[in-house]
Amino acid sequence: MRCGRALIILGELIEDYHRRHVLLCIAQLRPENFLKLSKAGIADLLGPERFFKSVRAAVTWLQHQQELWEAELAAAEAAEQAASGIPVHQAFGDEDDDDDDDDDDDDTATTTTASVAAH
């Protein structure tokens, strides 16, 4: 049965994306196909909030989730800096630093960029 195998693969894909923290949404799904996904447990695995009538609605929801994630990340970074006792301007390099060595400023910028990209 092709449909059964496809549902198994879809379930595995959803679980893999979940482990990777990738959000997956389904838009414009026909009611009879939603019923198939529900019977196979896929709708529960994905979550009812991930089904949308339009692509626009799905994209809007994903953008909102991205904003929430960015706010959580910023709050966590601010809490980590506060716990370290290092003022923010020192943690990210003070532009008014009296150090005349231009190479150090470039290294700080590169390190900060690499750190942000790693998160």
Per-residue pLDDT of the chain (119 residues; tens, 9 = 90+): 467 889 999 999 999 999 998 999 999 999 999 999 999 999 999 999 999 999 999 999 999 999 999 999 999 998 988 888 766 566 565 555 555 555 544 444 433 333 333 33
Q: For residue 55, what are the contacts with CB-CB under 8 A and spacing of at least 6? A: 27, 28
Residue 45, CA atoms < 13 Å, CB-side half-sphere: 21
Check: CB of residue 25 under 8 Å from CB of residue 50.
Answer: yes
Decide: pTM greater than 0.75.
no
**The pLDDT value given to residue 46:** 92
